[in-house]
Structures are given as C-alpha cells and as structure tokens.
C-alpha cells in the first residue's frame, strides 16, 4: 500500500453496469456497487442521515425573457417567493426563520447563528466582460440576502459576495446595493491568497469568514462538461486555469474539482448550496447566451432553484436536469462524461451521488414544488411551450432538436480501501 492516488488516468476500474453506475456514490447502495466493480472497501460516509436532500422549486413566472437590461431578467417578487418556498421545502419547516435555524443547527451540531459571524457567498461570475452571457441574477441573490438579513438577523456588513477571479457588472452590483446597501462586494481579502491547493492558492477570504454559501448557476462547460457547485470554486483560487488539467480526473486524488472541494476551508464552512437556475445553458457553456436559440434552455426557461446541504447530490440532480433538456456534455469538442468528479467525491464521503434520467432517486431525497404543486417526489416536467424572449433571432421554435447525452461508465485510477479524514489522504491499493 502507498498513500495517495497516482495521477495516471490510464488506470481503470472494471466497468460498472448501467444501474450500478447510476447509484454509485450513495451510501450503502454505492458501497455494494463499487465493491462489485472491484473497489475494496466502502466509502467513509461523512454526511449525516437526511442531509442528502435536494429541494427543487420551479415557477415559470420567474423569467421575464432575455435582455441586456438585467432588471428585465427576473421578477423579484417571484424570486423572493421561490427562495422562501425552497428553504422551507429543504428543511420541512413551516417558516423561513425556522428553516434557517435548522440549517445553522445542523451545520453547527446544535448551535444556531451567533451575531458577528460572517458568511461569504460565492457567486459564479464567469463572464465579467459581457453581460449578455450567462451570469448570476441579482434578483435571486437578493432573495437569499433578504432571508439572511430580515429573517436570521445578520448584519449586512457580515455578508460578503465574492468571485476572486472576476469583477461584477455594475448592473449586478447596483441591483444588490439598491436593496441591501452595506453588503460587502469583493473585499480586498478576496484577491489575497494563502493556503495551497492543486498548484494554486485559495482566497484568504475563506480563512476569515465563519460560513460559506455556494451559489452556482446552471450550465454546461466546454472544458468540464458542466459548471455547477463544485466548479464554482474555481473562482475561489488565484489561478483557476491550472485546475483545468484535472477536470477529467476520475479519482479523488487526480480530480482537481474533488481536491479543491474537499479542502477543509470549503468543506467545513459550506452551509448551503443555492443554485440560481432561472436560466440555463445546455450548449456552449460558459460563454454562450442562455437567451439564444440552440444554446439556452428556452421552452420554457428552467425557472428553478436547487438547494441542498450536499453539493454532490445537488450537482447530480442538476446534471440529470440538463440531460433531460438535451444538454451536450463536451471537453474541448469531444463527448465528456460529466459525472466522474461526483462519483470520486462520493467515494470519500463528500456527499451522495446518484443518476436517474426520470428523477426517481433511491439515495437522494428530492422534494419538489413545480408551479405550486409540491411533493416529496418529482412531478413530471411540463411539455415544451414557447417562452418569452426579446433577444433578436431567438425564436424558440427555430431551435434545433438535441438529444440528451447518455450516462456512460466511469474510468477511475485505483481501488479505495480507506480515507484518512484528518490527513486528507487516501490509502490506495492496486487490488
């Protein structure tokens, strides 16, 4: 035995059957599937019972078409209502205040939020040079800030928005400041770096804050297949491009996404994942315009929020959603299986992975509210229908037909008998 994984991606596990692959990474079921495929030993589970719950709220009134004017993108009243619904759905609580009390208590082992504690919110601002490309919506962020300020009682100055590698558009910053002045916007510590990870350094901001909220957006990505909660943290490091070399990694040690997200400053401080999926990209991410035919999801727009305390589970559900809407998963022009990082992450206890084309999960607890119809189980997606858009040449009826990319089997680097949580190393055998 030797510590660590080799960075040789040519080594592969025996192929999983389709069903084994679909549930690989979840507690219990995944252990059996991985063992059958040649993994010696079960992954160490670090998520408590019930944590792998995903709340999916959808309201087709949210998106107001696509425009260069950010204020026309999202109905703020609908966004507020969706966020309230989402945190209550996630926790099973009847009020927003009670929902957040539960979120903090579960994170802290029983303790609630204490005045003066700070929260960093990592938004995914990938395209700072073009506001017509896919960026976060300030209306959705404001819906989250409203809860934290008005329901939890957090001082605006203790809430910090950041993306270490990008500046925010004025429309975005002004949209937040108009409603919640005092919220910090990319402070100096966001672009100061200290702790090393994957040949780069993490933003010092993560050392200074008490909690972290990960706020990705819904899109494909030309180098990683998808850009969801795990990849959002490329905006938490000094030189994001160096992590591109490990985006295809299928083991905990050769996956840059897993290495980054299992760092204790991210893993231990992440309170919640709140995915802004009002708009979505199924082709051409991250640079395409999600309001354009052929790239965006238009019929109708996603009009969704996905919330979870489990980043693996929420990314799993979002990949299933993208696939159901005809997403094309590629890495530099070639077909790419986007789930490898999730299976690797699940194998060391970072969360629960499961894939289900019909959203019928065995190991992920998916609760939904779709246009006011709420259930602990998924309801059927509505049929395609014209969606509003004011982008020239973006008639949804002209959109080419796309087929969902099938889920493929996974290649991995070596077997996994044990994971040392304290030292963050894997003890690996060639088996």
Mean pLDDT of the chain: 80
Position 405 scores a pLDDT of: 30
List, in sequence order, every residue forming a beta bridge with 225; answer none if it has no partner.
221
Q: Which of 61-70, 134-143, 340-349, 374-383 has the lowest mean pLDDT?
A: 374-383
Residue 72 exposure: Cα atoms within 13 Å on the Cβ side: 12
Question: What per-residue confidence (pLDDT) applies to 358?
Answer: 94
Q: Which residues pair with 375 in a beta bridge?
A: 368
Rounded CA separation 62/102 (Å): 27
Mean pLDDT of 198-204: 97
Q: Which residues of 67-144 form beta strands (DSSP E)?
A: 119-123
Per-residue pLDDT of 64-114, as tens digits, reads 998 888 788 999 999 999 999 999 999 999 999 999 999 999 999 999 999
Please give the pLDDT value at position 72.
Answer: 86
| Backbone dihedral angles phi then psi of residue 147, each to the nearest 5 degrees | -65, -45
Are 430 and 415 in contact by the 8 Å Cβ rule? The answer is yes
CA distance 212 to 214: 6
Taking a C-beta distance cutoff of 8 angstroms, is the pair 375, 368 a contact? yes
Name the least confident of 96-105, 206-215, 285-294.
285-294
- CA-to-CA distance for 253 and 102, rounded, in angstroms? 33
Q: What are phi and psi of 407, to 5 degrees?
A: -70, 130
Q: Are 252 and 311 in contact (CB under 8 A)?
A: no
Strand partners, 87: none
Tell me the pairing of strands 225-227 and 217-221: antiparallel
Does residue 391 surpass a pLDDT of 90? no
134: CB partners within 8 A, 6+ apart: 126, 127, 217, 219, 279, 281, 285, 286, 287, 288, 289, 290
Q: How far apart are CA 341 and CA 259, in angstroms?
A: 10
Residues 339 and 7: beta-carbon distance below 8 Å: no
Read off the pLDDT band of 378 (50, 70, 90). low
Question: d(Cα 16, Cα 369) in Å, to the nearest integer?
Answer: 33
- Torsion-angle region of residue 372: left (phi > 0), alpha (psi -120 to 50) or beta? left
What's the CA angle centered on 265, arms 263 and 266, to 5 degrees? 70
Cα-flanking dihedrals φ and ψ of residue 304, to 5°?
Answer: -130, 155
3-state DSSP of 218-251: EEEECCCEEECHHHHHHHHECCHHHHHHHCCCCC
Q: What DSSP state is assigned to residue 259?
A: H
CA dist 309 → 26, 47, 268, 357, 388 (Å): 15, 9, 12, 22, 33
Count CB neighbours of 12 within 10 A: 14
CA angle 174, 211, 342 (to 5 degrees): 100
370 pLDDT higher than 70: yes
Residue listed under structure tokens 């246009």: 371
- The answer, yes or no, to whether residue 387 has pLDDT greater than 70, is no
The residues near 24 (Cβ < 8 Å, ≥ 6 apart) are 16, 30, 33, 34, 343, 346, 353, 354, 410
**Which pTM does this prediction carry?**
0.80
Q: What percent of the chain has pLDDT over 70?
A: 75
**Quick one: which of 152, 24, 93 has its CA closest to 416?**
24
Four-point Cα dihedral 312, 313, 314, 318, nearest 10 = 100
Tokens 């969704």 correspond to: 304
How many CB atoms are located within 10 Å of the residue 247 CB? 21
Q: Is 256 a residue whose pLDDT tops 80?
A: yes
Confidence of residue 383 (pLDDT cuts 50, 70, 90): low
The string of pLDDT tens digits covering residues 167-190 is: 888 889 999 999 999 999 999 999
Residue 37 has pLDDT above 90, yes or no: no
Query: Does residue 123 register a pLDDT over 50?
Result: yes
């Amino acid at each position: 035995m030797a510590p660590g994984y080799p960075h040789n991606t040519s080594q592969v596990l025996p192929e999983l059957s389709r069903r084994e692959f679909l549930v690989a990474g979840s507690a219990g079921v995944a252990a059996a599937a991985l063992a059958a495929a040649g993994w010696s030993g079960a992954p160490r589970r670090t998520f408590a019972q019930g944590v792998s719950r995903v709340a999916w709220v959808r309201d087709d009134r949210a998106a107001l078409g696509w425009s260069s004017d950010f204020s026309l993108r999202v109905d703020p009243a609908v966004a507020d209502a969706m966020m309230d619904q989402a945190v209550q759905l996630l926790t099973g609580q009847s009020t927003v205040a009670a929902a957040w009390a539960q979120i903090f208590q579960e994170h802290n082992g029983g303790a609630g939020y204490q005045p003066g504690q700070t929260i960093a919110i990592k938004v995914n601002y990938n395209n700072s040079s073009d506001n017509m490309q896919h960026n976060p919506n300030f209306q959705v962020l404001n819906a989250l800030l409203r809860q934290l300020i008005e329901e939890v009682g957090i001082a605006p100055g203790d809430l910090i928005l950041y993306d270490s590698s990008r500046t925010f558009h004025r429309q975005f910053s002004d949209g937040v400041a108009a409603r919640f002045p005092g919220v910090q916007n990319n402070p100096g510590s966001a672009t100061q770096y200290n702790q090393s990870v994957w040949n780069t350094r993490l933003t010092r901001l993560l050392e200074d804050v008490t909690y972290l909220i990960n706020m990705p957006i819904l899109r494909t990505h030309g180098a990683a297949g998808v850009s969801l909660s795990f990849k959002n943290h490329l905006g938490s490091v000094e030189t994001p491009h160096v992590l591109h070399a490990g985006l295809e990694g299928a083991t905990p040690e050769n996956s840059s996404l897993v290495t980054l997200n299992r760092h204790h400053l991210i893993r231990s401080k992440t309170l919640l994942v709140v995915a802004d999926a009002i708009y979505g990209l199924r082709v051409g991410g991250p640079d395409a315009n999600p309001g354009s035919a052929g790239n965006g999801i238009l019929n109708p727009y996603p009009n969704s929020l996905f919330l979870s305390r489990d980043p693996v589970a929420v990314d799993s559900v979002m990949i299933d959603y993208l696939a159901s809407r005809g997403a094309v998963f590629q890495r530099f022009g070639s077909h790419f299986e986007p789930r490898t990082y999730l299976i690797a992450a699940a194998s060391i206890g970072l969360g629960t992975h499961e894939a289900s084309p019909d959203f019928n999960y065995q190991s992920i607890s998916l609760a939904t509210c779709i246009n006011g119809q709420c259930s602990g189980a998924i309801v059927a997606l509505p049929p395609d229908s014209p969606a509003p858009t004011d982008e020239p040449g973006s008639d949804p009826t002209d959109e080419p037909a796309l087929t969902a990319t099938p889920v493929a089997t996974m290649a991995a680097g070596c077997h996994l008998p044990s994971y040392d949580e304290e030292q963050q190393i894997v003890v690996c055998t060639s088996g």
